[in-house]
Amino acid sequence: MSDTSQKTYMLNMGPQHPAMHGVVRLILELQGEKIVDADVEIGYLHRAFEKHSESETWNNVVPWTDRLNYVSPLINNVGYAMAVEKLGGIEVPERGQYIRVIACEMSRVTDHLTCVGASAMELGAFTVFLYMIKAREYLYQMVDTLTGARITTAFTRVGGVKSDLPPGFAEKFKEVAALVREAVRESDVLLTKNRIFMDRMEGTGAISKEDALAYGITGPFLRSTGVAYDVRRSHPYAIYGKLDFEIPVGTKGDNYDRYLVRMAEIEQSLRLIEQCLEKIPAGKHSLEPKEIKWAYEIQDAGKFGDTALLAKYQAKVDQTLEGMSKADQPDTRVLDRKITLPPKESTYTNIEGLMNHFELVMWSWGVKIPPSETYFAVEGGNGELGFHLVSDGSDGPYRVRCRPPCLFPMAALKKLLIGGQIADIIPTFGSVNMIAGELDR
Partner 1 sequence: MSDLLRGDIREIPAASNVEELAKLKAEGFNVLVDMTAIDRLKLGKLPRFEVVYRFMKLDAATGEDRGRAEARCAVDEQPVLRSAKGLWPNADWLEREVWDMFGVKFADRPDIKRLLMYEEFSGHALRKDYPIAKRQPLIGPKSGDKAGSPSFNILKPTVTGE
Q: Which residue type does 112 have?
A: H
Q: CA torsion, points 289, 291, 292, 296, in degrees to nearest 10?
A: 110
Considering the complex, state which of residue 2 and residue 364 has its C-beta at the smaller distance from partner 1: 364
Q: What span, in angstroms and rounded, lies between the C-alpha atoms of 268 and 363?
A: 42
Stretch that binds partner 1, among 23-31, 64-72, 211-219, 279-287 (CB under 8 A): 211-219
Considering the complex, state which of residue 285 and residue 403 has its C-beta at the smaller distance from partner 1: 403
Q: Which of 247, 277, 292, 418 binds partner 1 (CB under 8 A)?
A: 247
Backbone angles phi, psi at 388, to 5 degrees: -105, 115
**Residue 235 interacting with partner 1 (CB under 8 A):** yes
Q: Which of 17, 271, 284, 399 binds partner 1 (CB under 8 A)?
A: 399
**Residue 50 interacting with partner 1 (CB under 8 A):** yes
8 A C-beta contact, residue 93 and residue 334:
yes
Q: Which of 98, 131, 229, 259 binds partner 1 (CB under 8 A)?
A: 229
- Residue 187 backbone zone (phi > 0: left; psi -120 to 50: alpha; other: beta): alpha
Q: Which of 197, 215, 256, 259 binds partner 1 (CB under 8 A)?
A: 215
Q: What span, in angstroms and rounded, lies between the C-alpha atoms of 75 and 88?
A: 20
**Residue 324 interacting with partner 1 (CB under 8 A):** no
Q: Which of 265, 384, 424, 438 binds partner 1 (CB under 8 A)?
A: 384
**Residue 376 interacting with partner 1 (CB under 8 A):** yes
**Residue 287 interacting with partner 1 (CB under 8 A):** no
Considering the complex, state which of residue 247 and residue 301 has its C-beta at the smaller distance from partner 1: 247
**Residue 249 interacting with partner 1 (CB under 8 A):** yes
Q: Which residues in the 61-120 window bind partner 1 by CB under 8 A? A: 86
Which has the closest alpha carbon to 173: 280, 279, 277, 244?
277
**Residue 228 interacting with partner 1 (CB under 8 A):** yes
Considering the complex, state which of residue 143 and residue 249 has its C-beta at the smaller distance from partner 1: 249
Q: Which of 121, 407, 432, 434 binds partner 1 (CB under 8 A)?
A: 407
**Residue 48 interacting with partner 1 (CB under 8 A):** yes
Stretch that binds partner 1, among 49-57, 123-131, 311-319, 331-339 (CB under 8 A): 49-57
Q: Which residues of 178-213 are buried (b: 16+ CB within 10 A; e: fewer)?
A: eebeebbeebeeebeebeebeebbeebbbbeeeebe
8 A C-beta contact, residue 351 and residue 365:
no
Q: What span, in angstroms and rounded, lies between the C-alpha atoms of 360 and 338?
A: 7
Considering the complex, state which of residue 24 and residue 142 has its C-beta at the smaller distance from partner 1: 24
**Residue 363 interacting with partner 1 (CB under 8 A):** yes
Whether omega for the bond prior to residue 15 falls within 30 degrees of 0, making it cis, is yes
Beta bridge partners of 161: 156
The Cα diameter of the chain in Å comes to: 104
8 A C-beta contact, residue 224 and residue 201:
no
**Residue 209 interacting with partner 1 (CB under 8 A):** yes
**Residue 237 interacting with partner 1 (CB under 8 A):** yes
Q: Which of 277, 374, 418, 422 binds partner 1 (CB under 8 A)?
A: 374
Q: Which of 94, 111, 164, 230 binds partner 1 (CB under 8 A)?
A: 230
**Residue 412 interacting with partner 1 (CB under 8 A):** yes
**Count of residues that bind partner 1 according to CB under 8 A:** 49
Considering the complex, state which of residue 31 and residue 55 has its C-beta at the smaller distance from partner 1: 55
Q: Which 8-state DSSP code applies to residue 186?
A: H
8 A C-beta contact, residue 74 and residue 367:
no
CB of 354 to partner 1, least distance (A): 18
Which has the closest alpha carbon to 23: 35, 40, 4?
40
CB of 129 to partner 1, least distance (A): 30
**Residue 390 interacting with partner 1 (CB under 8 A):** yes
8 A C-beta contact, residue 332 and residue 326:
no
Q: What span, in angstroms and rounded, lies between the C-alpha atoms of 61 and 81?
A: 9
Q: In 117-262, which ranges are E strands?
A: 156-157, 160-161
**Residue 242 interacting with partner 1 (CB under 8 A):** no
Residues that bind partner 1 (CB under 8 A): 42-43, 46, 48, 50-52, 54-55, 86, 209-210, 213-216, 223, 226-230, 233-235, 237, 247, 249, 363, 374-377, 384, 386, 388, 390, 392, 398-399, 401, 403, 407-408, 410-412, 440-441
